[in-house]
Amino acid sequence: MGEHETRIIDGKASAARLKDAVKAQVATHVDAGHRVPGLCTFLVGDDPASDVYVRHKRNDAGFVGFSDVHQKLPADISEEALLDLIREMNRRDDVDGILVQLPLPKHIDRARVLNAILPSKDVDGFHPVNVAGLVLGQPSHWPCTPKGCLHLLDELGVELRGKHAVVVGHSNIVGRPMASLLVQRDCTVTICHIHTQDLAQHTRQADILVVATGCAGLISADMVKDGVVVLDVGISRTEDGKLTGDVQFDDVKPKAAAITPVPGGVGPMTRAMLLQNTLEAYEGHLRLPAEA
């Protein structure tokens, strides 16, 4: 075991600082005579978890001074009707960011809906144009969770260049974009997933370990080396209703130089980065007329 003191990464505090910074920036723009930024949220159907997530996002948006354009739609809305509403929001000058809460009802093609959002308003960072921008290292909206993870590493002062980062999970929302961002920061990156053989052989090499699988307790203490920095993106609910991550926190913590708890680690950063992306979209839209 390492004889260092483990740093618990406080995502709540980091997110609060970021929200305050976005709020101050919005106030500066509005005081200068610019319009208020606008965030449009789409909630289709009555999924209770989605309802909670969207309510939190709308509350955050209100806190920083965004206008709230909310679209609560029935579960049986047609795909074309939803696409028409998205196109309407694409045209609106007072809407800077568009967020479609997932999952969508089964009769709606998720890819078609997400691809209908203008890339400049795609504040989730899921549009292929934004994905290409991320991979190529060009200006684009990055997915909120990987962007939040990178922000936490930077706040910690972790030197990324030359480090071995291991990402467990290869989803388009977290794993793949996280790997791309780490490569751009000159990490050597290994991506592991459900078909990886001998996962522990890879995770034990990690200087930085990002785990995003949704498999509760997947990473045990014998799977990491001393001094590792651990970002636990996964979130599951145990049988007794307790939230838990992909990492066995109490066991891994003594070996880690720094580790995120669940809850209170990466989760709050995801919501804060949605605000940051919307602010960046707004600032980009403000510049467009001058560049035309």
Contact between 224 and 203 under an 8 Å Cβ cutoff? The reply is: yes
Catalytic residue, from 101, 147, 232, 246: name it.
101
Strand segments (E) across 20-116: 38-44, 67-73, 97-100
- Cβ pair 275, 22 in contact under 8 A: yes
- Residue 239 in 3-state DSSP? coil
Which one from 57, 147, 163, 255 is the annotated catalytic residue?
A: 57
> Are 159 and 277 a contacting pair, CB within 8 Å?
no
Q: Could you confirm whether 225 is annotated as catalytic?
A: no
- Give the whole-angstrom CA distance, residue 114 versus residue 106: 15
The single residue listed with the structure tokens 């804060």 is 272
Count CB neighbours of 286 within 10 A.
15
Nearest Cα to Cα of residue 9 among 274, 270, 266, 272: 266
- Residue 10 catalytic? no
- Kindly report the number of other CB atoms within 10 A of residue 241's CB atom: 6
Q: How far apart are CA 117 and CA 126, in angstroms?
A: 9
Q: Is 57 a catalytic residue?
A: yes
Q: What contacts 270, CB < 8 A, 6 or more positions away?
A: 144, 145, 148
Would you call 103 helix, strand, or coil by DSSP?
coil
What the block records as the tokens of 86 is: 């998205």
Catalytic residue among 60, 96, 122, 124: 124
Looking at residue 10, what DSSP letter applies? -
Residues 85 and 18: their CA atoms lie apart, in Å, by 31
Q: How many CB atoms lie within 10 A of CB 135?
A: 16
Q: So which residues are the catalytic ones? A: 57, 101, 124
